[in-house]
């Protein structure tokens, strides 16, 4: 089970076709919550404390994950390739939440293009970049990754 380099991790997270991530948060009563999310890697946010950049996704502020993120400020995101020989990346770290309309429209459009194709990007951005939604940025503080686990 070979480990991945930062470059391999970034390529896996940024790869096409885009993989859905599973976001893990903690509810107010301590129960875990997991939900699928579309995400994009923001390499422009890369720095010495987060060489991969940040993982960016959107969510409704009133959703379970939105409330958990606002309260807890931390999350984990697992992204896997479920085809042999199997690989995964799990990212843990603090999150920031942003309700700026311009950023929300920008990232909803990026996500729409990444998952639905360039021809759907603007429509997806307009539909999902609306008040009540949040841009969530997950800054990697701990990353676990393995490639080709079944080889």
Rounded to 10 degrees, the C-alpha dihedral 107/23/36/81 comes to: 100
The token duo for 5 is: 């380099």
pLDDT digit string, tens, across residues 112-139: 999 999 999 999 999 999 999 999 999 9
How many residues belong to the chain? 151
Do 140 and 50 form a contact (C-beta atoms < 8 A)? yes
Residue 117 φ then ψ, to 5° = 100, 155
At residue 13 the predicted structure's pLDDT band, cuts being 50, 70 and 90, is: very high
Helix, strand, or coil (residue 19): coil
Overall CATH class of domain 6-146: mainly beta
At residue 44 the predicted structure's pLDDT band, cuts being 50, 70 and 90, is: confident
At residue 49 the predicted structure's pLDDT band, cuts being 50, 70 and 90, is: low
Predicted pLDDT of residue 45 = 75
* pTM of structure: 0.93
Print burial letters for 31-52: b (CB count within 10 Å at least 16), e (below 16). Answer: eeeeeebbbbbbeeebeeebeb
pLDDT digit string, tens, across residues 75-122: 999 999 888 888 999 999 999 999 999 999 999 999 999 999 999 999
Q: Which sequence spans correspond to the domains of the chain? A: 6-146
């Amino acid at each position: 089970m070979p480990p991945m380099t930062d470059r391999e991790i970034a390529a896996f997270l940024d790869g096409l076709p885009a993989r859905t991530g599973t976001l893990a948060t903690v509810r107010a009563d301590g129960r875990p919550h997991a939900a699928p999310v579309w995400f994009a890697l923001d390499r422009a946010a890369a720095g010495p404390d987060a060489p991969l950049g940040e993982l960016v996704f959107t969510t409704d502020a009133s959703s379970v994950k939105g409330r958990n993120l606002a309260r807890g400020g931390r999350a984990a995101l697992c992204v896997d390739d479920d085809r042999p020989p199997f690989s995964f990346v799990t990212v843990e770290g603090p999150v920031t939440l942003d309700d700026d309309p311009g950023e929300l429209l920008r990232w909803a459009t990026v996500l729409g293009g990444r998952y639905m194709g360039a021809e759907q990007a603007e429509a997806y951005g307009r539909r999902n970049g609306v008040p009540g939604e949040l841009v969530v940025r997950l800054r990697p503080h701990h990353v676990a990754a393995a490639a080709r686990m079944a080889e």
